[in-house]
Amino acid sequence: MRLIIIGPPGSGKGTQANRLSERLGLAHVSTGDILRDAIKRQSPEGRSASSYVATGRLVPDELVNEIIRALFRGKKAPRQFIMDGYPRTVAQADFFDRVLKDQGLDLGGVIFLQVPDEEITERLSGRRTCPNPTCGASYHVKFQPPRRPDVCDRCDTRLVQREDDKPETIAKRLAVYHAVYDELVDHYRRGGCLKEIDGVGDMEAVYERILEALKTC
Ligand code: AMP
């Protein structure tokens, strides 16, 4: 199966994509993770992207598209996948349509997670992540606190707040999101299997809603 999951930052895309990738045996392709890794390694792509990511702005389409093109042309090109955080603009969606066409692949469905802004702000500002590259566990100060404050349960590393989860940056990311998403959603609504899912509530309940919706793809 080939899926895209879209929604505002903090809508739970990453968490749901993880679970779906395990359950359905899909490669989980997150451009946010790819970019953060490139920034950490200080690769040329990472150096170009770092100021955008740190301030919550979208990295230019050409740069992200190039990363995706290389991935899909490479030896380890995913065949069954869930895209998380890409495409994020209509230009990226057009580009990705072409990448898939070139590879003779079609899209099974697009999951659109809907969560209101106030809830997004509360979720993101409380998020803490483990910076240990082999762990990467995620917590929330209110909804999923670690056993000891600010320390990872799994590997004892001190937790951090992502630079782009700071309040000024969250507002910026939401503004960016609203500016481009209407068009993106329209693109996929026209193109076929768009599933609009209520992303509010328990993670488990949202997951069940997604599985139910995918039955009709
Ligand atoms: P995420 O983890 O998906 O919220 O992405 C974190 C940051 O990476 C975003 O705020 C953007 O700066 C950048 N980013 C990730 N994916 C894309 C994309 N498809 N297009 C442009 N920028 C992106």
pLDDT tens per residue, range 21-58: 999 999 999 999 999 999 999 999 999 999 999 888 89
Alpha-carbon span 201 to 154, nearest angstrom: 26
Across 158-170, average pLDDT: 90
Atom number of ligand 1 nearest to Cα 57: 12
Contact call for residues 106 and 100 (beta carbons, < 8 A): yes
**Which is more confidently placed, 46 or 192?**
46
Alpha-carbon span 137 to 153, nearest angstrom: 9
Is any ligand 1 atom within 6 A of the Cβ of residue 88? yes
How many whole angstroms from 199 Cα to the centroid of ligand 1? 19
With the most atoms of ligand 1 within 8 angstroms of its CB, the residue from 5, 18, 90, 164 to mutate is: 164
Alpha-carbon span 78 to 103, nearest angstrom: 11
pLDDT at 193 exceeding the cut of 90: no
Across 57-67, average pLDDT: 95
- The total number of residues written for the chain in this structure: 217
Confidence of residue 149 (pLDDT cuts 50, 70, 90): very high
The whole-model pTM stands at 0.85
How many whole angstroms from 32 Cα to the centroid of ligand 1? 5
Cα–Cα nearest to 194, from 1, 68, 5, 9? 5
Is any ligand 1 atom within 6 A of the Cβ of residue 188? no
Contact call for residues 8 and 196 (beta carbons, < 8 A): no
Confidence of residue 158 (pLDDT cuts 50, 70, 90): very high
173 is annotated as an active-site residue: yes
Contact call for residues 53 and 39 (beta carbons, < 8 A): yes
How many whole angstroms from 148 Cα to the centroid of ligand 1? 30
Structure tokens at 7: 């929604």
Listed in sequence order, the DSSP H helices in the chain are 13-24, 31-41, 44-55, 61-73, 90-102, 117-125, 167-191, 203-214
| DSSP H/E element including 113 | strand 109-114
Options 19, 123, 128, 173, the catalytic residue: 173
88 is annotated as an active-site residue: yes
Give the pLDDT score at 168.
Answer: 86
pLDDT at 154 exceeding the cut of 90: yes
User: Across the chain, what does the average pLDDT equal?
Assistant: 93
Give the pLDDT score at 57.
Answer: 87
Give the pLDDT score at 139.
Answer: 94
| DSSP H/E element including 195 | strand 194-198
How many whole angstroms from 78 Cα to the centroid of ligand 1? 20
Nearest CA to ligand 1 atom 15: 32
Return the percentage of the chain with pLDDT > 70, whole number: 100
Q: Which domains does the chain have, with CATH numbers?
A: 2-116+194-214 (3.40.50.300)
